[in-house]
């Protein structure tokens, strides 16, 4: 790809920060926008033009998108199941970000636009059992997504589709399945299961505790994708001629109990599980089906869950114990 001027919305977030780093290494001019103050960005790059402003506002979207070639919209109000179950209205408001960024893309003649959707768009009736078959892209309809966050993502997918049809804006849409890795949230309430469990097991080991809290019975299943696989799939889809909505996720489905066992092996510890049945659980089972993305753009994950958890565990351990890390886990693709 020739060097471009690229806007990353949500650049202060987990995936956004990794994407900025990756594109800078390729030599692109990157503009970064996020509503968080700079001190709260996961990664901050002085060489970028950085904006801390609210992208729900149309004028701000016009400002940051002026003169850019490409837009990656990673911006939304989200977190793990505990957050999205208790903040449905806040999650729904993110629809304003995508809507106003699409409007600004037309106004500023942006060449291509990426929207980061989620596996939370999938019909809930197809996710009532553990270890289900991977969800195909067609399984989003008839619509019955995760309340709040899932509805916002599904509506925003439709907005991208109709802006393509009505205004000839090239759009690309990916449905992410549980992205994790170093330099992400691991405490505070917005963290997802891999980081939360790494933190709990690390703290148990440091403090010589014998048990950890587990939400539900631990038999709920998910698939989890390491950040490096996510970046490769995202950029490959963005640069392709494929305008279909595609899964970007892993097909390696595990229960929460199984993931705990993997992390315990990494940590060299065995713990009792204190199951909490009053916590938000989400669907019973969810995993990605990658048949369509393999066919359309020849992408699939390469990093196993165990390998990704080893890297994530070490980074979180260093953070908790005050050790130093230098973003050494993400490859320079």
Whether the Cβ atoms of residue 35 and residue 77 lie closer than 8 Å to each other: no
**For residue 133, what are its two tokens?**
């078959």
Residue 210 located in a structural domain: no
| Largest distance between two CA atoms of the chain | 61
Residue 192 located in a structural domain: no
What domain count does the chain have?
Answer: 1
pLDDT (average), residues 49-72: 98
**pLDDT tens per residue across span 151-203:** 999 999 999 999 999 999 999 999 999 999 999 999 988 899 999 999 999 99
pLDDT at 10: 97
Element (H, E) at 71: strand 70-73
Whether the Cβ atoms of residue 128 and residue 139 lie closer than 8 Å to each other: no
Residue 188 located in a structural domain: no
The band of 83, judged by pLDDT with boundaries at 50, 70 and 90, is confident
Spell out the residues 6+ positions from residue 97 whose beta carbon is closer than 8 angstroms to its own: 9, 55, 56, 61, 73, 75, 76
Which residues does residue 113 pair with via DSSP β-bridges, in sequence order?
A: 71, 171
Phi, psi of 272 (to 5 degrees): -80, 155
Please check the confidence at residue 42 and state whether its pLDDT lies above 90: yes
Whether the Cβ atoms of residue 91 and residue 84 lie closer than 8 Å to each other: yes
281 or 47: which leads in pLDDT: 47
Residue 102 located in a structural domain: yes
> CA nearest 135: which of 242, 247, 299, 258?
247
pLDDT at 323: 60
Whether the Cβ atoms of residue 69 and residue 57 lie closer than 8 Å to each other: no
pLDDT (average), residues 62-75: 98
Please check the confidence at residue 325 and state whether its pLDDT lies above 60: no
Residue 84 located in a structural domain: yes
> CA nearest 53: which of 72, 27, 31?
31
Residue 247 located in a structural domain: yes
Q: Rounded distance, CA 115 to CA 119, Å?
A: 13
Question: What CATH number is given to the structural domain containing 9?
Answer: 3.40.50.720
Sign of the alpha-carbon torsion through 310, 231, 105, 12: positive
Residue 76 DSSP code:
-
> What percentage of the chain reaches a pLDDT higher than 90?
89
Q: Rounded distance, CA 205 to CA 29, Å?
A: 43
pLDDT at 327: 39
- Tell me which residue range forms the domain holding 120: 5-178+226-251+284-302
Residue 93 located in a structural domain: yes
pLDDT at 35: 96
Please check the confidence at residue 287 and state whether its pLDDT lies above 60: yes
pLDDT (average), residues 136-157: 97
Q: Rounded distance, CA 21 to CA 45, Å?
A: 8
pLDDT at 330: 33
> What percentage of the chain reaches a pLDDT higher than 70?
96
Residue 68 located in a structural domain: yes
Q: Rounded distance, CA 171 to CA 174, Å?
A: 10
Spell out the residues 6+ positions from residue 166 whose beta carbon is closer than 8 angstroms to its own: none
- Write out the catalytic residue numbers: 149
Give whole-number Cα distances, 166 to 31, 152, 242, in Å: 27, 21, 18
The pLDDT mean for the chain works out to: 94
**pLDDT tens per residue across span 105-129:** 999 999 999 999 999 999 999 999 9
């Amino acid at each position: 790809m020739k060097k471009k001027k690229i806007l990353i919305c949500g650049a202060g977030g987990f995936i956004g920060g990794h994407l900025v780093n990756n594109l800078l290494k390729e030599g692109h001019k990157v503009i970064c926008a996020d509503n968080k103050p700079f001190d709260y960005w996961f990664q901050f790059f002085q060489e970028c033009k950085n904006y801390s402003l609210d992208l729900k506002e149309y004028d701000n979207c016009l400002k940051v998108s002026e003169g850019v070639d490409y837009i990656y919209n990673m911006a939304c109000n989200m977190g793990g199941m505990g957050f999205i179950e208790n903040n449905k209205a806040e999650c729904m408001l993110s629809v304003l970000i995508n809507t106003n960024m699409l409007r600004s893309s037309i106004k500023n003649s942006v060449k291509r636009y990426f929207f980061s959707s989620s596996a939370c768009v999938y019909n809930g009736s197809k996710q009532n059992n553990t270890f289900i078959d991977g969800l195909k892209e067609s399984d989003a309809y008839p619509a019955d997504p995760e309340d709040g966050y899932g509805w916002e993502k599904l509506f925003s997918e439709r907005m991208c589709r109709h802006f393509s049809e009505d205004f000839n804006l090239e759009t690309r849409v990916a449905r992410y399945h549980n992205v994790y890795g170093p330099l992400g949230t691991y405490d505070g309430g917005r963290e997802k299961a891999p980081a939360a469990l790494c933190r709990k097991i690390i703290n148990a080991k440091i403090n010589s505790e014998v048990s950890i809290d587990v939400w539900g019975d631990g038999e709920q299943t998910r698939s989890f994708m390491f950040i490096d696989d996510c970046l490769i799939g995202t950029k490959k889809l963005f640069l392709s001629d494929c305008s279909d909505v595609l899964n970007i996720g892993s097909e390696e489905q595990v229960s929460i109990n199984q993931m705990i066992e993997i992390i315990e092996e990494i940590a060299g510890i065995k713990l009792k599980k204190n199951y909490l049945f009053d916590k938000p659980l989400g669907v019973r089972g969810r995993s990605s089906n990658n048949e369509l993305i393999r066919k359309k753009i020849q992408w699939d994950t390469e990093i196993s869950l165990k390998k990704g958890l080893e890297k994530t565990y070490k980074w979180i351990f260093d953070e908790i114990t005050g050790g130093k890390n230098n973003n050494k886990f993400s490859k320079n693709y």
